[in-house]
Chain A
Amino acid sequence: MNRNRILFWTCILVGMICILSSLYLQNLYILRVAVFAVIAAMLAVSVNLLVGYTGQVSLGQAGFYGIGAYTVGLLTTQWHWSFWLALLAAFILTSLTGLILGLPTTQLKGHFLGIATLGFGIIVNVIFNNWTSLTGGPNGIRGIAPPELFGISLQYENYFLGFSLFCLMVVVLMVHLVVNSAIGRAWKCIRHDEISAQVSGINVYGYKLMAFSLSGGIAGIAGGLYAGFMTFISPETFDLNQSITIITTAILGGPGTLFGPLVGAGVLTVLSESLRALNELRLIIYRAILVTVIVFLPEGIYPFISKKLRKRGIASQLKLKDRRRELDEQDFSQS
């Protein structure tokens, strides 16, 4: 077993322990906060595919999040679908939305893309608010049934936490597999230099679309989870503020890293909860801290910490060591 493998299975093990221990948590307040943190983490992971790995901005991630939540909400209440089918539908629909949004917008660069995605988020929100006959308008949708799994109702917070942690783990694992493949290399290359990508035979447009689609799909799942947990959804959860929070979480944590978004979600949740005692001042101080972190740690918290911990390089270099050893051996055999 090389170091790479050990690291991989350690992460899986830690994830399993988290899931199992969540079942024994009793404090309702902590449970609820933890579920929201997991959903926030999943959203940050979704936007990280764009802003971190592919170098594209999305300021409309709440649009996907909302479409996911409303799909689950509407399908389960109006058409009485099971939660699981509805969740799958939410994933497919938001992936498609990502694809369709990406078709025109991925041709845009930097700020233009930011503004276009922001416009997408706003249009979606306006529709939630005004297409009253379908979405219930500002009142939203009530009475979404919490999901059931193997006869266990997930309306108990600790079960739901376990379940959402499991979903998060699967998503992170998938991202890990995708990023460490030709797809991830293509994304990375597009982020640094699109012309390099072109002359390496990478279909830049196609890979950008793929990133958009996957990102939308993951945000859609987060939305479905939110709907299942809250059993009530309304447009204000999926507004511009939410989009900004999502992208800030990813950037604060460390864009383009696997665990950065998780760290970002954790830090922001703890920060936000610990400022609760300040009441009205809370939001002001929270925003001020956000700006400060962006100004002083532009590369993100996770890369900063892992750089401090390990004198040189970030975690991704660990796995390179294995490749290096392999290659050294080849060098020997040839000389």
Chain B
Amino acid sequence: MVEFAQTLVNGLVLGALYSLVALGLTLIYGVMGLANFAQGEFAMIGGFSAFFLVQEGVSYPLAVVIGFAVAGIIGLLVHLLAFYPLRQSNHINMMLSSLGVSLFLVNLAQYLFSPNPQVVKSPLSGESFNLGGIFISQQRVLIVVISFILCLATFLLLKHTKFGRSVQAASLDPDTATLYGVPTKRISFMTFILGVALTGIAGALLAPVYNVYPTMGISLTLKAFVVVVLGGMGNVSGAIAGGVIVGLIESFAGGYISTGFQDAIVFTVLFVVLILKPQGILTKVQGEKV
């Protein structure tokens, strides 16, 4: 029972993180049509920012906020240099460019920060809640709560602001959106920055629990893709729900089947979903017009 509950909680924590990363990924995909394989590297950037700031004596909450900003700024640079020039090119080239950026950032981090994992100290790391014999560290609760708040905030932002409506218009049909006066170029920049900055926060949040290291982003990116496929490419609420599902699958597969094969199990689920319902399990099917 205790083991089950622990696995459940771990799954929820992972799920919250995946939701956050996938949210950024799906927003970017929706507006730019870019499958951004460099998404997880922004979590790495957020994580290392938090690490260095905390080391320099900055308080952890402030470090998280700065991590958000740093990821956003680097995102702006990356967009300008690697994606914006390719906006007229085909999607395969965009995808490759993002793969290149991903590897570049990993190698750069390995050079600058050494490949070793770093421990980030959060004031909540040591504290835990005791729920009838099940101990849950407060940092984990924080991850779930903050992720939930951010997902909700993004959701509201998209639903109820002018920026949000522009984003929706641009992801439905960029050409028509442009005709209706939506500044699609600016929207695509802003969406990219928002998308990677959210991932940056995820990195800063997970740092005290899972440590930070240069290659940490790769598996995050892959999981986020699984989430996005489950939830439907470009579907915001799908990404949030899909994140929790993947987190739970991974946690239970690791806990009850095999840690070595847990990634293979996650991807097998992905395969099954892709084959049975390529639109994602959480989207309605729409007929394709010839």
Given a CB threshold of 8 Å, the question of whether A touches B is answered with yes
Which residues of A line the B interface, CB within 8 A?
Answer: 51, 57, 59, 104-105, 107-108, 110-112, 114-116, 118-120, 122-123, 126-127, 129-130, 195, 240-241, 244, 247-248, 251, 280-281, 283-284, 287-288, 290-291, 294-296, 298
A57→B95 contact, CB < 8 A: yes
Interface digits, B22-44 against A, CB 8 Å rule (1 contact, 0 not)?
A: 00000001000001000000000
Q: Which residues of B contact A112 (CB under 8 A)?
A: 229, 233, 274, 278
The distance in angstroms between the C-alpha atoms of A59 and B102, with both chains bound, is: 14
A291 to B86, CA, bound (A): 11
- Tell me the smallest distance from the CB of B229 to a CB of chain A, in Å: 6
User: In angstroms, how far is the closest chain A Cβ from the Cβ of B261?
Assistant: 6
- Are A287 and B263 neighbours in the complex by a CB distance under 8 Å? no
Give Cα A118 to B226, complex, Å.
Answer: 11
**Is B222's CB within 8 Å of the partner chain A?**
yes
Contact status A115-B218, CB under 8 Å: no
CB distance B95 to A288 under 8 Å? no
Interfacial residues, chain B to chain A (CB-CB below 8 A): 29, 35, 81-82, 85-86, 89-93, 95-97, 99-101, 103-104, 107-108, 110-111, 218, 222, 225-226, 229, 233, 258, 260-261, 263-264, 267-268, 270-271, 274-275, 278, 290
Contact B267 A248 (CB under 8 A): no
Residue on B with the closest CB to A293? B100
A153 → chain B closest CB, angstroms: 38
**Do A288 and B104 touch across chains, with their CB atoms under 8 A apart?**
yes
22 A-B pairs within 8 Å (CB atoms) are namely: A57-B92, A59-B99, A111-B95, A112-B278, A115-B226, A116-B270, A118-B222, A118-B225, A119-B267, A120-B267, A123-B264, A123-B268, A126-B260, A126-B261, A130-B258, A251-B96, A280-B111, A287-B100, A287-B104, A290-B103, A294-B100, A298-B93
B82 contacts A291, C-beta separation under 8 Å: yes
Contacts A112-B274, A112-B278, A130-B258: A122 and B267 contacting too (C-beta < 8 A)?
A: yes
Instruction: Give the residues in chain B near A105, CB-CB below 8 Å.
Output: 274-275
**Inter-subunit contact B264/A291 (CB<8 Å):** no
Q: Which of A129, A244, A280, A281 contacts B99 (CB 8 A)?
A: A244
CA–CA, A108 and B89, complex, Å: 21
Instruction: Give chain B residues whose Cβ lies under 8 Å from the Cβ of A129.
Output: 260
Q: Complex formed: what's the CA distance from A129 to B262 in Å?
A: 12
B274 touches A114 (CB 8 A): no
Minimum Cβ distance to chain B for residue A149 (Å)? 38
Give the docked Cα–Cα distance between A276 and B215 (Å): 22
Decide yes or no: A248 and B99 within 8 Å by CB, A57-B92, A108-B274, A115-B35 being known contacts. yes
Q: How far apart are the CA atoms of A291 and B278 in the complex, in Å?
A: 30
- Contacts A107-B278, A129-B260 given; does A119 touch B100 at CB 8 Å: no
Q: Which of A51, A116, A291 contacts B97 (CB 8 A)?
A: A291
Which residue on chain B has the smallest CB distance to residue A283? B107
A250's closest neighbor in chain B, by CB? B96
On whether the beta carbons of A287 and B107 are closer than 8 Å, the reply is yes
What residues of A have a CB within 8 angstroms of the CB of B92 in the complex? 51, 57, 110, 114, 251
Q: Given A112-B274, A122-B267 in contact, is the A295-B96 Cβ separation under 8 Å?
A: no
A286 to B222 alpha-carbon distance, docked (Å): 23
CA distance A116 to B103 in the complex (A): 20
**Contact between chains at B290 and A195 (CB < 8 Å):** yes
Is A116 touching B271 in the complex (CB atoms < 8 A)?
yes
In the complex, how many angstroms separate the beta carbon of A90 from the nearest chain B beta carbon?
22
* Cα separation A108 to B267 with both chains bound (whole Å): 16
State whether A126 and B264 are in contact (beta carbons under 8 Å apart), knowing that A115-B229, A287-B107 are contacts in the complex. yes
Contact across chains for B82 and A295 when beta carbons are under 8 A apart: yes
Given contacts A122-B267, A294-B97, A298-B89, could you give 14 more A-B pairs where the C-beta distance is less than 8 Å?
A111-B35, A111-B95, A114-B92, A115-B226, A116-B270, A119-B271, A123-B264, A244-B103, A248-B99, A287-B100, A290-B104, A294-B96, A298-B90, A298-B93
Q: How far is the CA of A240 from the CA of B106 in the complex (A)?
A: 14
A151 to B106 Cα, complex, angstroms: 47
Nearest chain A CB to B117's CB is how many angstroms away? 19
Interchain CB contact (< 8 A) of B263 among A120, A122, A244, A251: A122
CB distance from B235 to the nearest CB of A (A): 14
Tell me the smallest distance from the CB of B111 to a CB of chain A, in Å.
5
Q: Which residues of chain B are near A244, meaning CB under 8 Å?
A: 96, 99, 103
- Contact A290 B229, beta carbon cutoff 8 Å: no
With A130-B258, A251-B93: A281-B100 Cβ-Cβ less than 8 Å: no
Residue numbers in B under 8 Å from A248 (CB-CB):
96, 99-100
| Nearest-neighbor residue (CB-CB) of A110 within chain B | B91
Q: Which residues of A contact B82 (CB under 8 A)?
A: 291, 295
CA distance A244 to B97 in the complex (A): 11
For A130, list chain B residues within 8 Å (CB). 258, 260-261, 264
B152, chain A: closest CB distance, angstroms: 27
Quick one: closest A residue to B112, CB to CB?
A284
